[in-house]
Amino acid sequence: MNPNDARIESRYPDLAGRTAIVTGASKGIGAGIAGFLARQGMRLVLTARSEDRGKSVAEEVHKAGADCLWVTADLSTPEGARKAFDAAVARFARIDVLVNNAADQASAPFLDLDEEQYHRSMEANVRIVYGISYLVARHMAAGGGGSIVHISSVGGLRGHQAQCGYDASKGAIDAFTRSMAVDLAASGIRVNAVAPGATINRPLTEERRDKTAEKGRYIPLGRMGTPEEVASAVAFLASDAARYITGQILYVDGGLTCQLTPPGIRV
């Protein structure tokens, strides 16, 4: 079986019956996380800006047997964050897990990173995480605890070309993860992040399959990752199996960030 097509069947029984909000759930990694958590028996609130695609994901999750609510919202605004939070509480009363996957990946090389682009790619991404986290963390603290998982990126640790604003936002989210973990530990809330490397986010055409294979040559494990593999790490961190883990960044990158040079190249 092609590892890119394999479904991971990890089970975390303690997640069954709990409620999770997954942001940016209309495609790619967010949709993969939604499907994976649904198979754990979780109740789900899925949210993103793209209503048509998001409702389609929610419908598939619902068909798979999960109790699922879709909320169309722009989480970079206080109104959007409040809308998603209020809908989750109204439907399920309690929120146990928050997965902050939503992000704006648009960026630019630094010499082209004007103020408008900077605000969009850096500040908006941090605001997306802050707004919903602030509401949910206060709710969790009042209810005895919970787990928050941010989706970061290898770009928070290593620089991408032409991605200054995006990488800066992910570095800020990594720092945010650690500081939140320290502040919220006494309230029984664990805060961690998953940092994916190169990940296949769309169905593979023949052309894209060739490009994916080429990119995989530069990764120690020899291939790009999948949304399922990111989702598996999220489920682990959200579960009681990780009950003594907080403030950590878990890299799901096939070894990309641990290498000095790509495989097969000696310096």
Nearest to 196 by CA among 230, 169, 235: 230
Cα R_g (the chain), whole angstroms: 18
Q: Which residue reads 């959200």 in tokens?
A: 238
Q: Which helix (H) or strand (E) holds 195?
A: strand 189-196
Amino acid at 188: G
- DSSP, residue by residue, 27-82: SHHHHHHHHHHHHTT-EEEEEES-HHHHHHHHHHHHHTT--EEEEE--TTSHHHHH
Nearest-angstrom CA–CA distance, 146 and 71: 21
Q: Let me know the angle formed at the C-alpha of 51 by 46 and 57, rounded to the nearest 5 degrees.
A: 50
Q: What are phi and psi of 161, to 5 degrees?
A: -70, 140
> How far is the CA of 247 from the CAs of 53, 97, 184, in angstroms?
32, 15, 10
Catalytic residues: 166
